[in-house]
A and B are shown apart, each in its own frame.
Chain A
Amino acid sequence: MKPPAFEYHDPVELEPALELLRRYQGEAKILAGGQSLLALLNFRLTRPVALIDVNRIRRLSYIKEQDGRLCLGAVTRQRAVEFSPLVREKLPLLAEATRLVGHLPTRTRGTIGGSLAHADPAAEYPAVFSALDGELVARGPNGERVLGAREFFQGLMTTALAPDEVLVEVRLPLMTAQCGWAFEEFSRRQGDFAIVGVAAQVCVVGERCKTARLAAAGVGPTPLRLERAEQTLEQDGLSERSIAEAAARAAEQTEPPSDLHATAQYRRHLTRVLTQRAISRALARARGERR
């Protein structure tokens, strides 16, 4: 479990990093927190000619509020997201999801951009970005482009990032009033990748569901936006029956894989259970029942 030789660069500014990416013509990889990439290197499952370490590019690490959105530098540590008062106040779903990302030591190294760019379908951040239509800002030789979560996650650990692009910022809309949130996850041990996870943010107007934003992790090659379940809630309201119906629609929408830890049937079943729990908990919060 030793990687083959590679070249290593650790620029302190973004521009040299981009220049290096261009120079290696797709043969270089960006090293952020390294919590996934280093294992892949050690297993010799990836063999980049060079690593471009972006950890020293300090201006890629920030959390700020701008134009009704929460903007995070791609190299912001997960631990910083977890403890950010701004995130807790303005986007508690992201804070709750972060506590489920790996373990405390891995969160101190792991970055939000790294997790999104790695695009593990069972990871929490991609599900949150999928649910909330997050934006991902890529910087390449021709400047910046902004990608929606839907177009960003293209397949199993595959994103729309071009080989000469770096993820520089990620953005999520702030939660508005009368909204509740929940991230429900089932894993065999604390800190494992989810067998299934469901992100939910539900906003109410009186008894009515104004918007429901739901996405699942672990049920396919990419995070899955649970549109049918959202429609059910938005059209049929927030009764117990409607929530149960939405959860059933969510399960129907999945085409999950079978693996060592769970069969496809069990994953589909869990999607229903967790969707129901996530909606119920989010709704309770939206109604101010508990926070």
Chain B
Amino acid sequence: MAAQRFIGRPVKRIEDLPLLTGRGVFIADLPFANLRHAAILRAPYAHARILGINASRARGAPGVVGVITGNDVARLTRPFAVGVRAPVKYYCMATGKVRFVGEPVAVVVADDRYLAEDALELIEVEYEPLPAVIDPERAAAPDAPVLHEEAGTNVACRRKMTYGDPQRCFEDADVVVKAQFKFPKYSSTPIETYGVAASYEPGSGVLTIWANFMGPFILHSLLARSLNLAENRLRLIVPPDIGGSYGIKTSIFPYMALLGLAAMETGVTVRWIEDRREHLLAASSGTDRVAYRELAARKDGTLLAMRARWLDNVGGYIRSPEPGCAFRPIGNWVGPYRVQSLDIDAGVVMTNKCPTGPNRGYGCGHLYFEIERMVDMLADKLGMDPAEVRRRNLIQPSQFPYRTPTGGLYDSGDYPAAFERALKTADYAGLRREQVQARAQGRLFGVGLALAVDPSVSNMGYISVALDPEIRGRPGYLPKSGATEAITIRIDPLGKISVILGSTPQGQGHRTILAQVVADEFGVELDDVTVTDEMDTFTRLWSVSSGSYSSRFATVGASAAAVAARKLKAKLVKHASYLTEIPEQALEFADGQVRPRAGGQPALSLKELAGRVHWNAAALPEGIEPGLEATAVFGFPEAKSPDALDRVNSSNTYGFIAEVMAVEVDPETAAVKILRYVSVHDAGTIINPLIADGQILGGALHGLGGALYEELVYDEDGQQLCASFMDYLVPTAAEAPQLQIEHLASPSPFTPLGAKGLGEASSMTAPAVVANAVSDALRPLGIEITELPITPSRLWHLIEKARMRKP
């Protein structure tokens, strides 16, 4: 292991100076010659048949270059592949029918955006409105209006899975807790919306798409097929800066196809920058979910089994990588508890809402809201302290690596130590004493706990559990697995280092992280390392899992960088051995030079060695290739495809989160005030604590958004009611509570640096910890929070109802 001068230190981000001085280069900043601008006409109905589109007036409007409609899309493109068996045809624009308000219906390409929007108003669309359905349970009913006639049902996918012996556990249980939960549809609303530019060169047949996309990921292949292009004729370029994503920009790919088609059809270079209304109406969000859960336990608090039936609402179309919402956490479905038996009935349903996709925490916010609420309900039923119930069921440090019944392989951790640290930091005992006093005064004071296993680096194979094992077992079925990342390091003739990423950072600080890792590997200064991102599928190494999602960079990206650096160091040691005639084993690479392990001379600096390799290639000995660059593709051997019993290690590293929150509810206004919030994380080796804490703070605030403020609300007819920031309430700095963050480090045995992901982190625990704290505050009234967000109006009605019950 190289000496660590930078890893683990709060190094200031290299990215910040240009960003803070307005010198970032985002998609809207990219210069193009003869650029034209697109605007998109969107469906005013949630569900309607398109009887006709007349765009002739728009085509003749001032400045208009061309108009693309669903007819062009149906004629020239193919629907995107979906990960389920239901024959759902999802094109990049509505063809024949619209299935959610805001769905693209036509694209105008014009000299500027103003003229393009003027021309949109001249397009006449004749609709036949159809009954809409927005509730997932209603949509799953046999008499519901069907969105996709060819599928015959709105249920896109349903899997029943059993692990262990849940039936026996429920029969043997002393106590069973049952509850229904509703998790809201909320999103991320990054400060930079979607943006796509496209240009087609008929000579080479290459379509180039610039987009603030997080892939290529699996979606590059889907895009190429949809546009009838060979994959090596579709060039994706990601701009140097992306203004946030949090998962949401995964779902930009239909617009990449749409703009690609517009560029091919009109022959011009065209750009579309999504506006905020478009973003809130029609970009993407997490799923809303209805879940029914049961928890079986002994009377001493030992958890025996979980039973869950849920419906995830993916909106008008099931869009890749959905139904990931239902299955991404499969390996950690039991959370941090030693439960061996599960009964799962996972349903995914389509309704007339905007389609969904990954949103920070992808599926885990739902999971831990449900599990952690259930554990609190159990504690209440048993008259036990909720901390004690958790203590009794945690996976113990001696059990790692721990195989969960669903196939997850928890790599490392000390859950009890992290949990106790959280309790101690928050002074849990003191908070409980404070609660006794507060209740005596009639105040509504509550303490909540939430624990979570924090999965990172998705094994893309998990998604195939959406298919029955019988289908996956058929000959000819291509199994899916993996989580790889490629990094290239180059040393120039003067001995400075360039690192070339295959990732697409959206603000996470990848350049800083890799500068730290590579500087430490070589024993040089941060300044000696230059890191370049800007994914370009024509020049960078990439594969179907390349991209920045599922908190993977500190783990898989940093690992690839360390491995590539070690390859280069080995080569330099070999060359030094030849030059000095000292055996390789007696040499080491340290402090920017190759020197005898025993110390002393000769010591050859990186600069000198690099000069010799570059400037005198003919003098290299046999067995050493010219040039000084190395590429490493890092993958995880444990990222296998699901087995016949639906077990899959859905992520590659698993951190741990323990949170404590104290709240007070104003009995008159029902406003929730957060008094204390402690968050303890174990994400293995922390490469940069500044960046890590920034991620945790942001994740926590995002989760608080879903718990207290944010929801994409639809009325019965499927009209979306929050198409601006006046109505879609994102918590701001003024709403941010003080968050006290602590770290433990149980290094991952599966990565060279021991790091695990933490980019999603508290986004998955905040909804649970708020709901538990508020329920605890309202325990004297007998109120259990089972639905989010906890708005003051909603909470006041709950309190009123409870007061009427118990005067």
Report if A and B associate in a common complex.
Answer: yes
On chain B, the residues within 8 Å of A189 by CB distance are 709, 729, 731-732, 734-735
CB-CB < 8 A to A3: which residues of B?
114
Contact with A along B719-749 (1 / 0, CB 8 A): 0011010110101101100000000000000
* Residue in B closest to A276 when the chains form the complex, CB atoms: B668
B705 CB → nearest A CB, Å = 10
Residue of A whose beta carbon sits closest to that of B118:
A4
A205 cross-chain contacts in B, Cβ below 8 A: none
A273 in contact (CB, < 8 A): yes
Is B402 interfacial (CB-CB < 8 Å)?
no
Cα separation A9 to B93 with both chains bound (whole Å) = 41
B793 close to A263 (CB less than 8 A):
yes
Say if the beta carbon of A2 comes within 8 Å of chain B: yes
Contact with A along B111-125 (1 / 0, CB 8 A): 001100110000000
Q: Which residue of A lies closest to B731 (CB)?
A: A189
- Closest chain B CB from A162 CB (angstroms): 29
Which of A67-75, A85-93, A190-198 lies at the interface with chain B?
A190-198
B277 interface contact, C-beta 8 A? yes
CB-CB under 8 A from A273, the residues of chain B are 668-669
Set of chain A residues within 8 Å of B118, measured between Cβ atoms: 4-5
A2-B114 contact, Cβ under 8 Å, with A189-B735, A260-B727: yes
> Which size class do A's interface residues fall under?
20 to 34
A2, A260, A266: the one contacting B792 at CB < 8 Å is A266
**Chain A residues within 8 Å of B722, by CB:** 260
Q: Are A260 and B277 in contact (CB under 8 A)?
A: no
Q: Mark A171-195, 1 if CB is under 8 A from B, else 0.
A: 0000000000000001011111101
Q: Is the CB of B796 within 8 A of A269?
A: yes
Q: Is B791 an interface residue (CB 8 A)?
A: yes
Tell whether A266 pairs with B796 under 8 Å between CB atoms, given A188-B729, A189-B731, A193-B726.
Answer: yes
Near A by CB (< 8 A), chain B positions 251-277 give: 275-277
For residue A146, CB closer than 8 A to chain B, the reply is no
| A186 and B791 in contact, given A1-B277, A2-B114, A269-B796 (Cβ under 8 angstroms) | no
Residues of B within 8 A of A195 (CB): 792-793
Instruction: State whether the Cβ of B671 lies closer than 8 Å to any Cβ in chain A.
Output: yes
In the complex, the answer to whether B734 meets A266 with C-beta atoms within 8 Å is no
CA gap between A219 and B113 in the complex, in Å = 39
Complex CA distance for A189 and B669, rounded to whole angstroms: 14
CB pair B277–A263 under 8 Å, yes or no, is: no
**B793 x A266 contact (CB < 8 A):** yes
For chain B residues 100-136, which have a beta carbon within 8 Å of chain A? 113-114, 117-118
Q: Is the CB of B796 within 8 A of A2?
A: no
By beta carbon, the residue of chain A nearest B727 is A260
Cα(A39)–Cα(B729), bound, Å: 17
Measured between alpha carbons, how far is A6 from B797 in the docked complex, in Å?
Answer: 47
> Which chain A residues in 29-75 approach chain B with CB under 8 Å?
39, 43-44
8 A Cβ contacts from A225-264 to B: 260-263
- Tell me the chain B residues, 659-718 only, with Cβ under 8 Å from chain A: 668-669, 671, 709, 713
Nearest 8 interchain pairs by C-beta: A190-B734, A1-B275, A262-B793, A266-B793, A273-B668, A2-B114, A2-B117, A266-B796
Q: A2-B114, A270-B669 are in contact. List 18 more A-B contacts (CB 8 A).
A: A1-B275, A1-B278, A2-B39, A2-B113, A43-B277, A186-B792, A188-B792, A191-B732, A192-B726, A193-B726, A260-B721, A261-B791, A261-B793, A262-B791, A266-B792, A266-B793, A266-B796, A273-B668
Can you give 30 A-B contacts (C-beta < 8 A)? A1-B277, A1-B278, A2-B39, A2-B113, A2-B114, A4-B117, A4-B118, A5-B114, A43-B724, A186-B669, A186-B671, A188-B792, A189-B709, A189-B729, A189-B731, A189-B732, A189-B734, A190-B732, A190-B735, A192-B726, A192-B729, A193-B726, A195-B792, A195-B793, A260-B713, A262-B793, A263-B793, A263-B797, A269-B796, A273-B668
